[in-house]
Amino acid sequence: MEGACIKRTRKSINIFNTTEEMAPAYKLTYFPVEALAEPIRFLFSYGGIEFEDFRFDRENWPQMKPNMPFGQVPVLEHNGKVAHQSIAMARYAAKKAKLVGNDEWEDLEIDAIVDTVNDLRQKIALYHYEADAAVKESRKEPLFKETLPYYLQRLDAVVKANNGHLALGKLTWADLYFVAILKYLNSMCGGNDILADYPNLTALKNTVLELPAIKTWLEKRPNSDM
């Protein structure tokens, strides 16, 4: 690894508990929640890639925000550079963890599913984060009666047609992406299990959560509600 061995105090968990004092090659910075950083954490864990999982205190965010590339987190530091945008970072981690396609079309199929899951997340967020109570209430029924079923039925059918996975009939980063943000989606939907009526998606969730590397991560990661 390039650079000097860095000794520094960490307010984060060194997942792989090395005896050397060298910092991991990657540092992921985010709020103390799962949400949009969790797919990256899942993917690094699956790939056996050491990373510093830095979770800052919420009250420090106003000072940190101006120093972020586009005022947002998560960010990923590596070799003195800082990257942003959670899905872009997840795609990068997926390549390192070898959970990508074998050619460009296969990668397109995976990307399309991830972007679709992200579309669903945004529609849920439009409801959850709405500050005006009356507007929020007006969005509730269309979300639960139309939008969620529209997406989840189709995603469930994709998993059924793909041997229990979201793309290519095998495990790809689309599967880890979806399962990693599930708690966040559920919390935005009032804490319900949005997969309750979707057996294929539920089975996929269990498949991913039972992968040995993911199980290990789940045991080590800090608790959070979203």
Partner 1 sequence: MAPQYKLTYFDVGGTAEVSRYLFSYGGIEFEDVRIKRENWAQLKDKTPFGALPTLEHNGKVVGQSVAIARYLAKKVKLVGDDDWENLEIDAIVDTINDIRLKVFPIFMEKDEAKKKALIETLKNDTFGFYLPRLEAEVQKNKGYLVLGRLTWADFYFTTLSPMFDLITGEDVLASYPNLKGVKEKVNALPVIKKWIEIRPKSHA
Residue 49 is a binding residue for partner 1 (CB under 8 A): no
**Residue 121 region, left (φ>0) first, then alpha (ψ -120 to 50), else beta?**
alpha
Residue 146 is a binding residue for partner 1 (CB under 8 A): no
**Among positions 27, 31, 56, 96, the unique one binding partner 1 when judged by CB under 8 A:** 96
Residue 129 is a binding residue for partner 1 (CB under 8 A): no
Residue 108 is a binding residue for partner 1 (CB under 8 A): yes
Cα dihedral 207, 87, 115, 182 sign: positive
Peptide bond into 69 cis (omega under 30): no
Strand order in the sheet with 13-14: 13-14, 51-55, 26-30, 75-78, 81-84
Residue 178 is a binding residue for partner 1 (CB under 8 A): no
Which of 31, 36, 34, 27 lies closest to 8 in space, CA to CA? Answer: 27
- The distance of closest approach from Cβ of residue 185 to partner 1 in the complex, given in angstroms and rounded to an integer, is 16
**Among positions 1, 22, 112, 218, the unique one binding partner 1 when judged by CB under 8 A:** 112
Residue 151 is a binding residue for partner 1 (CB under 8 A): yes
- The distance of closest approach from Cβ of residue 86 to partner 1 in the complex, given in angstroms and rounded to an integer, is 8
| The one segment of 85-93, 180-188, 195-203, 214-222 that binds partner 1 by CB under 8 A | 85-93
CA distance 47 to 220: 16
Residues at the contact surface with partner 1, assessed by CB under 8 A: 69-71, 78-79, 81, 83-85, 87-89, 91-92, 95-96, 104-105, 107-109, 111-112, 114-116, 119, 122, 150-151, 154
